[in-house]
Amino acid sequence: MNGNGRRVLLGMSGGVDSSVAAALLQRDGWEVIGVTMKVWPQDCISRAEDKCCGPSAIADARGVAHKLGIPHYVVDEADNFEKIVIDYFASEYRLGRTPNPCVMCNEHLKFGKLRDKAKALGADFIATGHYAIIEHHADHAVLKKGRDARKDQSYFLFSLSQDQLQHALTPLGGMEKSEIREIARGIGLKVADKVDSQEICFVPGNDYKAFLKGHLGEGEFHPGSIYDTQGNFIAKHEGIEMFTIGQRKGLPGGSPKPRYVVDIDPETSSVIVGDEEDLVREEFEVDRVNWLRGEPEGTERISVKIRYAHPGTEASIQALPGHKAKIQLDTPQRAVTPGQAAVFYDGDAVVGGGWIVRQPAPVPA
């Protein structure tokens, strides 16, 4: 989409992706304003050099903005990040679910709070360095997978509203990562070879258990008991917050076969373990569904991703009352995890998505 002098607010993380997005938007005639969100509280333990929420990110983003000759601002979203993302992250584990903080951050901060900033600055659009394609039509937008299958981030954008999508730009969606770095080198950006962060931005070392202990305090955990699928007691545990569906490590030994967490019951603080086949599901339900092209009538064929790294699998979906849906899988899948997003695709197009709800395993009376 050509800018024709229109103003766009670009979220700049200090990495190569958003930096090249700035250059591409500028090339296409947009008046670009760069913004970096400060999302760490003063006592944040994850303010490391490699974090997109750390102080070095601001310096890198500011350097790129200076190189390109665009204005750059820092907005303090630490309080909102704490309430919207970090508290959500912790509360999901306390409910026996596995959270997806990137989806929440995108919906409420990057395409939410920054959209408010954009309006205040007279910008019609928000732009990011996401690897996803947003096609703009007269009265709607279509979200599609990015061209680089290894980097595609459409999964993380499923919860955006049509209004958010219609005012969003993702200039990297049709490009490969190698092209992005080559462009950065060509225009002399110092971040051209900056390593991508592979971790949750606010969790040091990707050790979520240590983070939860520091954030909640061990006294806030929910201890209970571990049972097998027949209801036999196995051992005590220190908190359901320490477990996720499909987990194998950290479970009591003494079994001739490997044990896996197959269910977490937040009401009784019980952890249910079973064999690997107990993890397999043929169907599941989701709630808080966001339909990007309207709720289907009857049963519809889709491909569904049950986690970001999942390749996707063919399924049938049926909308249910109360913003829910039922998914019947053609091929049973392992570790369909409550709290994770299930995103629905028609080819490369995202048609919707929702949050996987718990499907209880047998528990003791």
Return the biggest CA–CA distance within the chain. Answer: 68
Tell me which DSSP letter residue 144 carries. Answer: E
CA angle 235, 239, 78 (to 5 degrees): 165
HSE at residue 315, side-chain half, CA atoms within 13 A, is: 24
Q: Could you give the CA distance from residue 58 to residue 73 in angstroms, rounded to a whole number?
A: 9
Strand residue runs (E) in the chain: 7-11, 31-38, 72-76, 125-127, 132-136, 141-145, 168-169, 224-228, 233-237, 260-265, 270-274, 280-291, 299-305, 313-320, 324-334, 341-346, 349-356
Q: What is the dihedral of CA 156, 160, 164, 165, to 10 degrees?
A: 60
For the four alpha carbons of 104, 326, 302 and 93, in that order, the dihedral sign comes to: positive
Nearest Cα to 292, choosing from 132, 117, 171, 86? 132
Active-site residues, by number, are: 105, 201
For the four alpha carbons of 177, 178, 180 and 181, in that order, the dihedral sign comes to: positive
Nearest Cα to 82, choosing from 43, 36, 30? 43
> How big is the chain by its Cα radius of gyration, in Å?
22
Give the 3-state secondary structure of residue 67. Answer: helix
In contact, 228 and 273? CB cutoff 8 Å: yes
Cβ neighbours for 327, distance < 8 A, ≥ 6 positions apart:
283, 284, 285, 286, 304, 315, 316, 317, 342
